Amino acid sequence: MVLVIPAQPATSNEERQAVLFSCNRDGSLLLEGKDGKKPARFSLKPGDRFPWEQFLPKLLVNWQLSDYKDIPKEFVPQKRIPEFVTEGLLGEPLENQLKILATLRKQGYFPPLKK
């Protein structure tokens, strides 16, 4: 799932095309560039801008298709996600979507995040 990461200090103030490689419990994200720019891997810290509005619809499609090969391991379902969640997730404001993901993680739908 290639995403467009907005230009910011963490991306050397350049827009980047990258995939989410891993997520950490502290909220930091490791991304792998798919645009040929250096560095090939870079991190976003909590407070940096990650395009959740691009990521979540793509994640939802992959869940619905049960196609997990392009999903970061931290978002591969460990059990079936309730249909009311997959049907209603994108109808919620982004803030609520992120809260729903956090709740699903706490309820064991996803593997725990690493420290």
> Does residue 60 have a pLDDT over 90?
yes
Average pLDDT over residues 81-106: 95
Residue carrying structure tokens 């792998």? 32
How far, in Å, CA of 21 to CA of 28, rounded? 11
What pLDDT digit, counting tens, does each position of 9-59 carry? 999 999 999 999 999 999 999 999 999 999 999 999 999 999 999 999 999
> Does residue 115 have a pLDDT over 90?
no
Torsion of the alpha carbons at 20, 73, 25 and 18, rounded to the nearest 10? 0
For residue 23, give both structure tokens: 């997520």
> Does residue 77 have a pLDDT over 90?
yes
How far, in Å, CA of 96 to CA of 99, rounded? 5
Nearest 5°: the CA angle 78, 115, 8 is: 100
Average pLDDT over residues 80-108: 95
pTM of the complete model: 0.92
Strand order in the sheet with 16-23: 3-5, 16-23, 29-33, 41-44
As to burial, measured by CB atoms within 10 angstroms (0-12 exposed, 13-18 middle, 19+ buried), residue 91 is: exposed
